[in-house]
Amino acid sequence: MTGSPAVPYSPAVPYVVPFAVFIALIGLGLILPMPALADQVLRLAVMAVVLYFVARPALDFHVKEWSGSLLIGVAIFVLWIAPDLLSPSYRHSFLFDNALMGAARSSMPEAARHDVPVLWLRSLRAVLVVPIIEELFWRGWLMRWLIEPNFQRVPLGAYSAGSFWVVAIMFASEHGAYWDVGLAAGIIFNWWMIRTKSLGDLMLAHAVANACLSAYVVAAGKWEYWL
């Protein structure tokens, strides 16, 4: 008697599944809305489980360029808010407020904007979860897979013009009405990956940018940055 055949396991799973689950949770929240606190707890709990049990083989938090990654994170934050500071009506032009890209409107319910536990959990998700899942997917997997479908043959930070620009543009499209600054951030993140060849550096830079933005959102009441 022979044993059951092994279930095929793709090496892309630790890189792709966390991002897919994250997107699925966003969709679930739109279909089955729940109280803000329960929603944030559910998302954090599910993502913690997925990161621990699925993404762990791909996780590498080693940072090579601490100062550079910190500075890039701050620079991307400044880049993100600069157009709206310079021109308050900038984000309401047709380029950014349209049927394709949506609009710069927050998904955070008004009642939750003064709920401290909700704000903490939403910020933790932005700082601890999003940088990991996005960097695993965009620059840990897709940037390599576009060069060679057997992506493990491609070292982190390998460059090809096609993969560089496809990832930058797709990263921009993920950010809806903020696609312009998303594109600029995607270009900078891609360049930093090529420079450092380190997921840890990208996760740190991304976390710093999101931490600064989250603090700004809460302090200035700019909830539209939390799409």
pLDDT tens string 88-97: 899 989 999 9
What pLDDT is attached to residue 8? 59
**pLDDT above 60 for 7:** no
Q: What are phi and psi of 41, to 5 degrees?
A: -65, -45
Q: Domain span at residue 96?
A: 61-225
For residues 22-29, average pLDDT: 94
Whether residue 49 is contained in a domain is answered as no
Whether residue 1 is contained in a domain is answered as no
Q: 22-31, 62-71, 98-107, 139-148: which range is least confident on average?
A: 98-107
Whether residue 172 is contained in a domain is answered as yes
Burial track 128-157 (b if 16+ CB lie within 10 A, e otherwise): bbbbbbbbbbbbbbbbbbbbeeebeebebb
For residues 67-78, average pLDDT: 98
**pLDDT above 80 for 3:** no
- Of all residues in the chain, what percent carry a pLDDT higher than 90? 87
- Side chain identity at residue 177, one-letter code: A
Whether residue 54 is contained in a domain is answered as no
**What residues form DSSP beta bridges with 98?**
102
Q: Using an 8 Å Cβ cutoff, are 19 and 137 in contact? A: yes
Whether residue 40 is contained in a domain is answered as no
What pLDDT is attached to residue 1? 45
Whether residue 74 is contained in a domain is answered as yes
Whether residue 214 is contained in a domain is answered as yes
For residues 145-168, average pLDDT: 97
**pLDDT above 90 for 39:** yes
What pLDDT is attached to residue 164? 98
Model pTM?
0.94
What pLDDT is attached to residue 227? 87
For residues 133-155, average pLDDT: 98
124 compared with 102, residue with greater pLDDT = 124
What pLDDT is attached to residue 159? 97
The rounded mean pLDDT for the chain is 94
Whether residue 101 is contained in a domain is answered as yes
Q: How many independent structural domains does the chain possess?
A: 1
Q: 79-83, 98-102, 154-158: which range is least confident on average?
A: 98-102
CA distance 63 to 51: 19
